[in-house]
Structure 1
Amino acid sequence: MEETDFGIVAPSEVGAAFQITQDNTGLVTITPTAVNAISFDIDFGDGSAVATGIVAGKNVKHTFTEATHTLKVTAKGLNNLKTTADVQLVVSFKAPENLVVAITNDESVSKQVNVVATADYATTFDFFPGEAAATIPVSANIGETASFVYKAAGTYAVKVTAKGGAIATTDYSVDFEVTALLQPTTSAPTPKDRPSSSVVSIFSDKYTDVANVDLYPNWGQSTQYTAYDLNGDKMIQYSNLNYQGIQFDEQDVSGMEFLHMDMWTADLDAIDIFPISKASGEKSVNKTLTKDAWNSFDIAISDFTDQGLSMNDIFQFKFVGAGNKSVFIDNIYFYKKSEIKLPIKFDKEEKFKGDGGAGFELSKDPDNSANNTGKVTNSGSDWENVQINLDQPIKVVKDGLNKYSVKIYSPDSNEHKLSMKLEESGENEYIILAQTFSTKGWNTLNFDFSTVTEQDYPNGGAAFDGTADFKKLVFFIDGGSSTAGTYHIDDIVKVVAAGDQVIFDDFEGNGTISWRADALGKSIVANPLSSGNSSANVLKYDDTGGQYANIQFDADQKFDLSTNNKFTFKIYIPADGITGSQPNQVEVKLQDGSKERPWEGQFGVITPLELDKWQTVMVDFSSKASSTEFSRIVFQVNSENNNDKVVAYIDDFEYVTPVTHDDFEGNGNISTWYGDACGQEIIDNPVSGTINKSAKVLKYSDDGGQYANIRFDAPQKLDLSIYNKVTVKVYVPSSGLTGSQDNKLWIKLQDGSSGEPWVGQAQKEQAITLDKWQTLEFDFSDQKSETKYSRILLQFNGENNTDKVLAYVDNIFVHR
């Protein structure tokens, strides 16, 4: 039910289980074990041939001499990843001696005992639990752990038998009391991050709960309530349960898809769960509980609505259990998997519903298995269709840009018709447009709803005034013709005005980009370096030696570089993740994604990078402002046409012209720089190379001004709610300094309209390494609610001193 991220990892927990024949022959059956292993190799350690290709779960037999042997067990997983471990085997033809046994109740698993046995001259041991139905012992290697879960707590007569290669064995017997856990010792599974619009939480530490939740209203019940705290994790404990309610402020959860609950019990067999509606009363589902473990339930809302329960006025829950038992409950919330809105590219599992005979399923592009699509199967019914309800409606505005693009894959070259219908507006309007297509394979169709003046069924002929918000999207393929067939739809997008394309990915599930990997691995992972980037998740770029390795994406329409020609992103390259001698850089390329050979005519911009730190990069394609053919971005780290390895991490990729930026080459939007007791001028880069090969930079000349600085005023107030980081490249030569001030750069935000702009200013500082270009980022996210700032000021080596500072500044910009 929940989404899962999968990654390929090397095998772990490599070991082996032994069974030795008790006939003084030294014949041992060896079953290798590991997590994530496909096959095994075993070196027996006695000079004999290595056993190879042992399939997981199978075993191999080998005869050993009487001695202690060290076996090397190699586990092989996916991508031929390997892990090797040494496993000790004792082969002795003497009866085991000095048997020592430790039997304990498990601290986490109820009624489980763990047994460890050691003995001289022993290879394995058997544990006989003494439970009537348990006639087969549990075996383990000597010195390792054998575990057994009893059906009931109590005292049992148990026996441990130590075995070696000899016929004789050694036994240990004792009466042992098995105990049951009465409460959970681990937390329930942590819920996933979800947009606030897709979850209504009643009780959960993960989300914000609704108001006025009462976990123990007085309904005359015998149930007792306790707030159970497991190491800071709050849970509900109901004991002596007959029935119990929870009440809260009325909630409309009709737009949710599931009710989630986690439950743990030591003794309750089943529970009835009742959501209660003010208008339609209560309906229940019954859930069987697995004892001594967390039970996670995702109950479809339709399980209740199919019984007639309305879900737009839920204000209570009721739980009913038999036998006056106990239950622990956590994470009670309603949710839907994700918010459904345009663009729809099926990367967020947007599921249409088949109607009138048509079927729908999430699928893959017939031409590209890496691309997700929606597959529509027409059965041959007259007006069959597929439809989807939108959380964010399609807005049609009179005299506005109301054009939408849809891709459809046809199995043949016959002429077909795709109709796009919009329904469920606030005034129950219905509008429709149709386009024909006849190309086998993918067709791109455009629908301009600005041309619609009349409504469709059931309001056929009624006027449409040109403006409405539609919450349902419907597609008919060959509607009215009773034609069967299978098609794919994809890339349902609104065509936007030049420069208004929204292309962004924060890798937290909020992006609009469908990335593809070419000869490398890509995956969304936890941010490995929080310093310099507080994001939880980032994109891992894992080039294991692909000659032309890259990641790329196609925009929904051609880039209008005349109005927007900047791309920004964060990147981190750890030094220990690269091989070879390629320059540390990132190249971003523009390509025409519609061409068969898209690299022909491409244009790239290379940015040198520093290792072992997050840095924000702005790529400027203003030199291609007149080009109209580009629709694809290719992202390549440390060059191409080589087999070097590169691991990099990428975040916050955005197609946006920074609100404020200057590269001192004439491409910025900062009209004027001012010097305050400080000289400033644009000059040729005196130290071109390393991470800054720019032709021009800004020279900062403080000849001893007490409050020397340079600054600029933005044309309007800075919007720090989103764009609150300032990145800049600087170079400070040690030969240009006097005095003993700290080598630092201060950036200050001020209200340029104030007569005393330094009053109420916000400032950040960064240490500087002398005699090298470096990229510095200043984080003003703590000022995101402040709206007064319009000035940015740069100041090297402090103020209120008369020391001299010479510095060079380049590529300053404000960004996300």
Structure 2
Amino acid sequence: MNSFKYIFSLAILLAVLGSCQKENFDDISFLETSGSPAQISAFFDITQDNTGLVTITPNGEGASTFDVFFGHGASTPAKVEAGKSVQRIYPEGVYNVKIIGYGITGKITEKVIPLTVSFKAPEDLKVVAALDAGNIFKINVSATAKYETVFKVYFGEVANEVPKSFIEGETISHTYTKVGTYALKVVALSGGVASTTYNQTVTIVNPILIPVDFESPTLDYAFINFDGGNSTVLDNPHKTAGNPSNKVTKMVKGAGQPWGGSVLKLGANIDFSANKVFRMKVYSPRVGAKVLLKVENSSDSNQAFEKEVTTTVANEWVDLVFDYSAINTSNTYQNLVVIFDLGTVGDGSSNFTFYFDDIRLQKNLPASLSQIKLPVNFEGETVDYTVTDFGNNSTVNGTDPVNVTNKVKVTTKPNGAETWAGTTIGTGDGFATKIPITASATKMSVKVYSPAIGIPVRLKIEDSNDGGKSVETQVVTTKANEWETLVFDFTNHATGTAALNLAFNFNKASIFFDFGNSGSGKVFYWDDVQMVASDSGVLGLPLDFQSLTLNYDFINFDGGNLTVANNPAVGGINGSSKVAKMVKGAGQPWGGSILKLPNPIDFSVNKTFTVKVYSPRVGAKMLLKVENKSDANVNFEKEVVTTKANAWETLTFDYSAISSVALYHNLVFIFDLGTPGDGSANYTFYFDDVTLN
């Protein structure tokens, strides 16, 4: 009776399972195309006591188990799981050990590996130890010998080193952590007590080459200081958006000669065959300081070329340009010479303390700056981000108080500034193109970091040729000392100003902080001036999860659970109020979510995705995949690893290799592919602003 009950229950269960339909996210059809195991090999180790006891460890990519045929004695193989070993006692001789690797689908690959068992000391030991062509810190070692079973190598970098083992036919590698001279030792071992040793001195050098950024912990930036100049590498004391580098060089010009400076010897000749424009970042205590950059032949200082430029700003990083187009390229130059204020003796004070960084060569002189246009983010190197203050306002380039790599503007409304003090975004000529205000797109946004809640901020747009043709609107700040995105809707024009007239040629914008109040010293940071996209009612890129009318209908699968949620950390690079929240719970290693778009994604021009991600840990993987809506086999994917924990960062997915012929409608999001989640905070991720660039 019990047997019948169990059979009946099983039948019901099978019927239920058969009636359920499921998205094919746990499809294992990939097993049918899974390849055979590859790179089959074996590691031999032998005791040095004349017993002939050999330990055999088979290896292979994609192999879960192995058969080991010892080539001696019984023909029955030993079954060995991946990562395990088997032992065998051999008499002296040469044996063919056959390894058969089995993949998860039953496919096999086999390889025969010779094993030498001898109780003699190895003879005719030959070692090849060569630096890697692609990494000057890496050495590759291989060896041959008679009567040897295994080699052990000591790379000589640490005390009490545990040697690494390898066999004949293998190459073993090691990457040194710093420059220096090391004693490499290779020991050939047989089954006997005696061994044979090979010794070699390895010298690791790391020459200083152009470009020079002073960031390498392995390079010795050994300046030769002369006649009062004193250059040292140190932590960047002025880390800003203009130079977020960790390390820079500090030059103090003290008492000595008017030409006091420093020389940096390079490890190779500077190549001026194509690039003839030097650039160098400089931080000067004053405007009008002279900066001379000179190159010299290492043996003949008469073979030299130099250019001098003058600083135009004080206490701010600037990128100076040195035109070397007239240099004689038939000479060779290995030395860089830096001199500040040539012709003036320094006094070692802060007035003669300079910083420099990022010395590099480029092909052409920088292009003339282009006129500003929307969107404005202050990041472009060839855009003129000059602003025009009025009413005693003061605006400068500044450092984002949250993210030092982000370039922003900083506006101070000083004591006594007019109630109407403001700042025109750009020059009086306005934007290069018309502001695209239309009947369905009437909003602009500005990210603002305000010192207090409730401060009125006004935005005005106008015709640069006729100031009477304008409209302005006003909002108030809702956050203090953190970023927020203020949205200005010009259909809600400010009291006493003209209504929005779409016939006007709006090409100029001005922002007014604390409008209507006299200046009191308040400081405002601002960034990202742009149009607010009209809500078309159609789901598509970019995705910002802010819409109240769009249906973000996520299809969650195998443990992935994606929803729209409140931003857990508003500020920095992400001031959005709404973001996507992924909780990866128990399920499959590939658990994730799909978002189906009604129209195919256009990859004809833009092929780089960026996504803002907030991860609970460094090293988490995010996979972004696109699929055809009818055939999931038509797809493309890229995976990127997070570098920050509990902070927003922008991840970039390179889709340059995607087929522009196929159609892709679906976006698939998977975190930590290959690892099942547990639904905890450690498997809770947020992302936002999925954008195709």
**Which TM-score band (shorter chain)?**
0.3 to 0.5
TM value normalised by structure 1: 0.32
Structure with bigger strand share is 1
